[in-house]
Amino acid sequence: MIKVSKGCLGEEELAAVREAFEYGYFGLASKVIEFEEALKNYLGAKHVIATNTGTSALHLALDALGVGEGDEVIVPSLTFVASFQAIKATGATPVPCDVEYDTLLMDLKDMERRITPKTKVLMPVHYAGNPCNMEALLEIKEQYKLRVVEDAAHAFGSITSKGQKIGSFGDITCFSFDSIKNITCGEGGVVVCQEEALAELIRQKRLLGINRKSNSTAPWKERSWQFEVTIQGFRYHMSNINAAIGIEQLKKLDDFIARRREICQKYEEAFKNISGLQRLRINYHECAPHIYVIRVKDGRRNALMQFLKDRHIETGINYIPNHLHPYFRVDGLTLPETEKAYEEILTLPLHCGLSDAEVEEVIRCVKQFFEECQEV
């Protein structure tokens, strides 16, 4: 089976895990701090706080901004359920909005229409790694005096059309380093922000609300039993073992991005003349692509999916729109572009473990499917 997505780990990560294992303390320790510093340098960000998952990074970010019951957070429905559950975990209401046809990114006009006095946060999702129009979004945020939490789970390494790295600006950016992301820690995530007071609050909340100033010793050096808890917190810190993997993965990021872009560009070239297939509008010089998604026209998506499966090629559907899940359903809400996209989208294999021969095989089978369609 040619896998649709997969992490790419080697001997370096294994050696790093061994070293962390031998160190003996697996919690929030020196590798976590080292990873945060490396990410700060890479992103050009002021503050990086490493967490155990991308979902907890989103929850922490919202919680630290004071989001809670009675508040609304606007988020595209076409995202992983994690974005919605992170909002729900605060007690706030996720307000699903529509996406644009050609990018599947949050439709900013639809988003703006959904702003109410209860809206506290706008949560864009950089779908497939493609940054949404942050310049326009930040203008809307200023106009309505809101906050922005970017769900950048897909977009580690991407830059905007203005040449800024995702994570180097804005209010709060959350990345995921789960096992299939552009880099992985096994499981992991980070909250990135530029404001010192906010970063300090997020750090405190990440570790059960323990006030670091009341606990001056780094926990892995000498565990202090004397500390003060002043606020609600969570046990969301990254472990030393996961950070050790992340440090090695970060060293390989440039190669990973180059290979991911190369595969996408092969797909783009091969598919450009297939009329039954629509490619997304993405600039691959800026995007560090996480998934490669096509739209299959004329109700043929499921047929193509099966055709590829029969030829040992795994595909995916990113995602079931969240407003269609019973838990997030909003009475009377329809999101036409999102619902149309859900019928048409198909994710093709994209990861650094794919050989050129496997990429060619995917292309050959997709082309064959559409050629056979034309014959009937």
Ligand X SMILES: Cc1ncc(COP(=O)(O)O)c(C=O)c1O
* The binder of ligand X chosen from 5, 83, 184, 322 (CB under 6 A): 83
Judged by CB under 6 A, does residue 104 bind ligand X? no
Among the listed ranges 91-99, 137-145, 147-155, 327-335, the one in contact with ligand X (CB under 6 A) is: 147-155
Nearer to ligand X, 76 or 233 (CB): 76
Contacts of ligand X in 293-312 (CB under 6 A): none
Contacts of 227 (CB under 8 A, 6+ apart): 210, 211, 214, 215
Among 80, 256, 328, 369, binds ligand X (CB under 6 A): 80
Query: 181, 205, 252, 266: which one is catalytic?
Result: 181
According to the binding rule CB under 6 A, does residue 130 interact with ligand X? Answer: no
Q: Judge whether 34 and 238 are in contact, CB under 8 Å.
A: no
Q: Which stretch binds ligand X (CB under 6 A): 65-73, 77-85, 109-117, 349-357?
A: 77-85
Q: Count residues near ligand X (CB under 6 A).
A: 14
Residue 160 as a binder of ligand X (CB under 6 A): the answer is no
* Cβ-Cβ contacts under 8 Å for 370 (sequence gap 6 or more): 274, 276, 277
**Beta carbon of residue 242, minimum distance to ligand X (angstroms, whole number):** 11
Q: With binding defined as CB under 6 A, does residue 151 bind ligand X?
A: yes
Q: Which of 363, 48, 347 is nearest to 180 (CA)?
A: 347
Q: Kindly indicate which of the ranges 38-46, 90-98, 150-158, 264-272 contains the residues binding ligand X, using the contact rule CB under 6 A.
A: 150-158
**Nearer residue to ligand X within complex by CB, 176 or 239:** 176
Cα 146 from Cα 357, distance rounded (Å): 48
- Residue 189 is a binding residue for ligand X (CB under 6 A): yes
Q: How far is the CB of 213 from ligand X (least distance, A)?
A: 29
How many beta carbons lie within 10 A of that of residue 309, not counting itself? Answer: 12
Cα–Cα distances in angstroms (integers) from residue 6 to residues 24, 30, 198, 291, 306, in the given order: 29, 28, 34, 11, 21
Reference 296, options 240, 341, 247, 239; nearest CA is 341
- The CA distance from 47 to 213, in Å, is 17
Closest distance of CB 125 from ligand X, Å:
5
Q: Determine phi and psi for 73, rounding to 5 degrees.
A: -125, 125
Alpha-helix residue ranges (DSSP H) falling in the chain: 11-23, 30-43, 54-64, 81-90, 108-113, 134-144, 196-206, 240-251, 253-271, 301-310, 336-344, 356-375
Of 55 and 249, nearer to ligand X (C-beta) is: 55
Binding mask 206-235 for ligand X (x = CB under 6 A): ------------------------------
Under the criterion CB under 6 A, does residue 153 sit at the interface with ligand X? Answer: yes
Q: Which of 302, 301, 71, 64 is nearest to 201 (CA)?
A: 64
Confirm whether 181 is a catalytic residue.
Answer: yes
Catalytic residues: 181
* Interacting residues toward ligand X by CB under 6 A: 53-55, 79-80, 82-83, 125, 151, 153-154, 176, 178, 189
